[in-house]
Structure 1
Amino acid sequence: METSFARLLSSFLKEWAPESSSIAIAAGDRYVKYIPSGHDLNLIEGQLVPKGSITEQVYLQKERVEGFVDKSVFGTSYYGIGYPIENFDSYSFGAVVLIFPPDFSSNQSSSLSFITGKHENCWKPIAVEEISYIESKQKKTYIYTHNGTYSSIFPLKTLELQLPKTFIRIHRSYIVNISYINQISRDLSSNLIVVLKDPEELTLTISQTYVQQVRRVLGF
């Protein structure tokens, strides 16, 4: 049942997702790929997506979902973080879910106070409050501050789990420091965009995948 796209996606996720997480990929009403790791739900490829699972919640809300799920769903409780995938192969919708032990919480792990960035041949610890936004581009991660641009060895998915709630994911390529948002408006195509204070008047597009999450967090 696994497709070539699912194989490609699972290969990417094994490289970029936290090592402690099992990974479940769903398309339509079934799981098409499962990669067990530290906390194993013993999912079977081809298994139906059950009610009450993080996957079902992603399907219903069509946005990033995270939370605790008790053992009534899979026989083992877990903490899941799910992401929607639009136009997944021949399906209109799919989901990727990172599976952690039940006592895990992304809030507990959001303890980064600095990120070490590299500029030319020097490394510098950067306080998170100095970061305006973080970008993933051509499989590399870039940190933008008032004093310059730095590269990081960590992918966006890892940083998203560890950054404080003052940061918000707005696009598969961008995480933004809310303190640096000057305004949110619409471009000529009616897409929501974030206008940052620093770099001056830089605009970043909010992708449809993250619109509802951004609206909920920022309250508009």
Structure 2
Amino acid sequence: MLCVDISNEGLEQLKIILEDWIPKNASIAVASEDSYIYYSPSIEHLHLTIEDKIHPESVASHVLQTRMKTGIVLDSTIFGKPYFVIGYPIYLSQKNAALIIIFPSSYTPEKKEPYKFLTGKQEDLWTPVPVEEISHIESLQKRTWFYANDEQFKTNYTLKELQTKLPEFFVRVHRSYILNIYFIKNITKDITTNFIIQLKNGTELPVSQSYINDLRRLLEF
């Protein structure tokens, strides 16, 4: 765990160290408690203003809550538009903080083999579950759950992380849901013309306007 001085001088020293290994034109932000306390934009991000408060679904929020590194994921909460970012837990003058690296828009993460299974927890048991058996994944009460064979499992991954690491037959349909398209029974509209997905086991999942185009593109309807 990296521990640095919370003063501006200490943060600037941290920036100098990081510049030796982060990508060119990446920006650096530091978050603590509920706010961003430091922001050093690269040339590419000079025209963008960082949000003062930490969004509850942001990488910074996840790092502060879990005290775990968050791998490179898309995060649209920092600037209001998606950028690849990575987060690290650090200490600033004995306070929990999150170090956020914001990559330039030209950055493309190295493609890795998608997950073939997820390991889920039930009480004190851990079970590896093939992804083909998972019907959907849910974010609920700041935890992530996946469902397979009529059982519920807890995982340490966030939906943001899973979005980029699952096979192409998984699609994000809502801020709280990712689903396996092979478990879809039908898609209908409710009285407000919002789309509702019914799974083969009877579970109904809403589709938010933010993700409907991704679903249409994947299923071609």
The separation in 2 between residues aligned to 1:3 and 1:127, in whole angstroms, is 39
Q: Deviations over 1:14-46 (max 9, x none)?
A: 244843469673259xxxxxx753x744xxxxx
Q: 1:170 and 1:40 mapped to 2: Cα distance?
A: 25
Bigger CA radius of gyration: 2
How far has the Cα of 1:171 moved from its partner? Answer: 0.4
Q: 1:165 aligns with which of 153, 168, 178?
A: 168
The aligned counterpart of 2:215 is: 214
Q: For residues 137-159 of structure 1, what are the alpha-carbon distances to aligned partners after superposition, in whole Å with 9 as ceiling and x for unaligned?
A: 11100111124111001111111
Distance apart, 1:8 and its partner CA: 1.2
Matched, 1:9 2:55: yes
- Find the counterpart in structure 1 of residue 79 from structure 2: 26
Deviation for aligned residue 1:190: 1.3
- Output aligned runs, 1:198-213, within 5 Å: 200-213=201-214
In the TM superposition, what is the alpha-carbon distance from 1:202 to its structure 2 partner? 1.3
What code does the residue aligned with 2:135 have? S
Q: Secondary structure at the match of 2:54?
A: helix
- Mapped to 2, the partners of 1:131 and 1:172 lie a distance apart of 18
Could you tell me which amino acid in structure 1 is paired with residue 184 of structure 2? Answer: I
Q: Residues 213 and 23 of structure 1: is their aligned pair in 2 closer, same or farther, counting only changes over 3 Å? A: closer
CA distance in 1, matches of 2:164, 2:74: 15
Shift in CA distance, 180/23, structure 1 to aligned 2, threshold 3 Å: closer
Specify the alignment match of 2:155 in structure 1.
Answer: 152
Alpha carbons 1:169, 1:176 under 8 Å: kept: yes
Deviation at 1:213, TM superposition (A): 1.1
Q: TM-score, normalised by structure 1?
A: 0.60
Q: CA deviation at 1:160?
A: 1.0
**Equivalent residue for 1:109?**
112
Which secondary structure does the structure 1 equivalent of 2:161 belong to? helix
Residue 171 to residue 40, structure 1, CA distance change in 2 (3 Å): closer
Write the distance in 1 (CA, Å) between the matches of 2:210 and 2:75: 20
Question: Percent identity between the aligned chains?
Answer: 34
Q: Take 1:213 and 1:194, find their aligned partners in 2: how far apart are those partners?
A: 14
For residues 51-102 of structure 1, give each alpha carbon's deviation from its aligned partner in whole angstroms, at most 9, with x where no partner exists.
xx5xxxxxxxxxxxxxxx4xxxxxxxx12xxxxxxxxxxxxxxxxxxxx4xx
**One-letter code aligned to 1:137:** L
Report how far residue 165 of structure 1 moved: 0.4
Q: 1:188, CA displacement in angstroms?
A: 2.0
d(CA) in 1 for partners of 2:175 and 2:57? 17
- The within-5 A match list for 1:2-81 is 2-4=50-52, 7-9=53-55, 12-16=58-62, 18-20=70-72, 25-27=78-80, 37=101, 40-41=103-104, 69=106, 78-79=107-108
2: distance between equivalents of 1:40 and 1:158?
16
Sort the Cα spacing of 1:181 and 1:110 in 2 relative to 1 into closer, same or farther, 3 A.
farther
Contact 1:135 1:174 in 2 (8 A): yes
What is the aligned-residue RMSD (CA, Å)? 2.6
In the alignment, which residue of structure 2 is the partner of 1:125? 128
Asked if structure 1 preserves the Cα contact closer than 8 Å seen for 2:73 and 2:161, the reply is: no
Q: Is the 8 A contact 1:193 1:203 kept in 2?
A: yes
TM-score norm. by structure 2 comes to 0.60
Note the residue ranges of structure 1 that are not aligned, 5 or more in a row.
29-34, 42-52, 54-68, 70-77, 80-99
